[in-house]
Amino acid sequence: MEKDLSEISNKLVEATIAASNSTTDESRHLNQYHLREEIGQGSYGMVKLAYNEADQSYYAMKILSKKKLLRKAGLIGRLPPSKRGKARSTPLNNVYQEIALLKKLDHPNIVKLVEVLDDPGQDKLYMVFELMAKGEVMEIPTTDTLSENLAKSYFRDSILGLEYLHFQKIIHRDIKPSNLLLDDQGRVKIADLGVSQELLNADDQVSSTAGTPAFHSPEAVSPQRTNIQGKPLDIWAMGATLYCFLYGNVPFDNANMMDLHRQILNDPLVFPSSPSIEKSCQDLISKMMIKDPSQRIAMQDIKTHPWVTCGGNNPMVSRAENCHKVTVTEEDIKDSVKHIPRLEALILVKSMLKRKSFRNPLLTTPSTGPNPT
Ligand code: 8R4
């Protein structure tokens, strides 16, 4: 019996050593994942290529700092305590709740979050995503612009992903070409929900600036910012993104932040004469980039716009078909992260097994503890 136990505990410790985030010369291990080179830098953290030994395939792993997440906790998942009950009692629970929601998102145009690893004794949190083999849709600025047909295909994919997020009451807040990723089939999925904001009601206002300046809407950069609605922000940024697809750069471009803001607020949208783009496409971009958010085109009207549907020949799926409501339970929040086993804890277990004691040996006093010999 004693041999069995010690064999088991030896195995446990061995497995833990292999599984713990031990640093070797060039590759780090995290449970079954081998971390490789950095592939991207998003909001809040870097993304590395990761090889999963268990299924022998590659994933994208985002590495986050829990400290930084907590500092920015006001930006991710801000809900009143009454809405979600007791799971919100500690600040990290907000983060876990946000992760539980992200894990339940399931849409062909949203990058899939596979699992989340937490190292309880350390600051790091690891989010494992499906790998999007072709990376970012496009880099800007570029002279290598997309054809109108390819831009339309990417735009339609992005719009379905965005409609799904908005349906889940999530405002992305950092829509731009570099956050749209391509899989090996050439399908676009939205990534980096790091600054996204969950809303209580679909038309609740959002707070605090986030995202990338050149994609900011007039209401977001206006000096008298009040009552900002979330969805029109994403629609403006998606309009600026479609502009990038076709012209290779953002519509308002200035290294000086004050001047950039002035341009976004006051300057008319101008379309270069080359490449030549269909009038109906320019009409759509113009409507998505109407400066007054209350006049800006809404999701439903984007989906039926003649450029998007090729004059009605290629309609988009309905909202009901595209969106299924996701709910997050207490159980989901509990299961939202997988804990990386701690070496110290297993060494403790091993020493307890050796002593045939299930008390913590560090707390056991000679008078009460069993005699190990
Ligand atoms: C990101 C998931 C990517 C992924 C753009 C995040 C950002 C990093 C730069 C978006 C990701 N497959 C974030 C996950 C999270 O929140 O910051 O699956 C992926 C991801 C990135 C790539 C591929 C990728 C590959 C090559 C070049 C750039 C990105």
| Separation of CA 111 and ligand 1 centre (Å) | 9
Residues carrying an active site annotation: 174
**pLDDT tens string 247-283:** 999 999 999 999 999 999 999 999 999 999 999 999 9
Supply the pLDDT for residue 362: 55
In a domain, 99, yes or no: yes
Q: Can you give the pLDDT at residue 119?
A: 84
- Note the pLDDT tens digit of each residue in 169-207: 999 999 999 999 999 999 999 999 866 666 656 577 776
> Does 333 share its domain with 317?
no
Average pLDDT over all residues of the chain: 84
CATH number assigned to the domain comprising residue 63? 3.30.200.20
Q: Which of 47, 48, 125, 134 to mutate to test the pocket of ligand 1 (most atoms within 8 A of CB)?
A: 47
Query: Domain boundary residue among 276, 306, 322?
Result: 322
Specify the pLDDT at position 195.
62
What domain count does the chain have? 2
Q: Are residues 78 and 185 in the same domain?
A: no
Contacts of 221 (CB under 8 A, 6+ apart): 209, 213, 260, 261, 264, 265
Is 46 in the same domain as 164? no
| pLDDT reported for residue 50 | 97
- Residues 156 and 231 placed together within one structural domain of the fold: yes
Q: What is the pLDDT of residues 38-92, one digit of tens each?
A: 999 987 789 999 999 999 999 999 998 888 877 766 544 444 444 444 444 466 7
For residue 229, count other CB atoms closer than 10 A to its CB.
17
Same domain membership, residue 36 and residue 67: yes
Q: Any idea what DSSP says for residue 122?
A: S
Residues 57, 128 within the same domain: yes
Contact 164, 324 (CB under 8 A): no
C-alpha span between 99 and 111 (Å, rounded): 14
In a domain, 143, yes or no: no
Q: What integer pLDDT is reported at residue 167 of this predicted model?
A: 96
In a domain, 231, yes or no: yes
Which residues does a 6 A CB cutoff place in the pocket of ligand 1? Answer: 39-43, 47, 60, 62, 111, 129-132, 135-136, 178-179, 181, 191-192, 194
Q: Which helix (H) or strand (E) holds 41?
A: strand 33-42
Note the pLDDT of residue 335. Answer: 87
Shared domain for 289 and 262, answered yes or no, is yes
Ligand 1 centroid – CA 279 distance (Å): 33
**Minimum CA distance residue for ligand 1 atom 23:** 132
Residue 209 structural domain? 148-322
For residues 33 and 59, is the Cβ–Cβ distance under 8 A?
yes
Distance 118 CA to ligand 1 centre (A): 19
Domain assignment present for residue 262? The answer is yes
In a domain, 373, yes or no: no
- Regarding whether 227 and 94 lie in a shared domain, the answer is no
Within-domain flag for 307: yes
Is 334 in the same domain as 217? no
Please state the rounded mean pLDDT for residues 209-225. 89
Q: What is the CATH number of the domain that holds 241?
A: 1.10.510.10
Residues 37 and 174 in one domain: no
Higher pLDDT, 82 or 335: 335
Q: How far apart are CA 173 and CA 231, in angstroms?
A: 9
